[in-house]
Amino acid sequence: MARSRFEQTAEEMTVTLIPQCNSCKFGKGYYGCKVYGEKPLKYRKNKEICPSREERA
């Protein structure tokens, strides 16, 4: 019972940022990108839409 005080359910969580790189086929880990070498911060943080992004199949 006491343990449940420290656990969260999916309903209690709010996703605030999903980087566009997550579902891009050119992404390589957290920082790597097959197009740019390293993901530009503005694309990784969704500040701008990446012109090279392609949805992963």
Query: Applying CB under 6 A, which residues contact ligand SF4?
Result: 20-21, 24, 26-27, 33, 35-36, 39-40, 43, 50, 52-53
Nearer to ligand SF4, 7 or 51 (CB): 51
Residue 51 DSSP SS3: coil
Nearer to ligand SF4, 3 or 47 (CB): 47
Of 55, 31, 57, 25, residue with least CA distance to 43? 31
Of 29, 28, 22, 57, residue with least CA distance to 43? 22
Nearer to ligand SF4, 14 or 50 (CB): 50
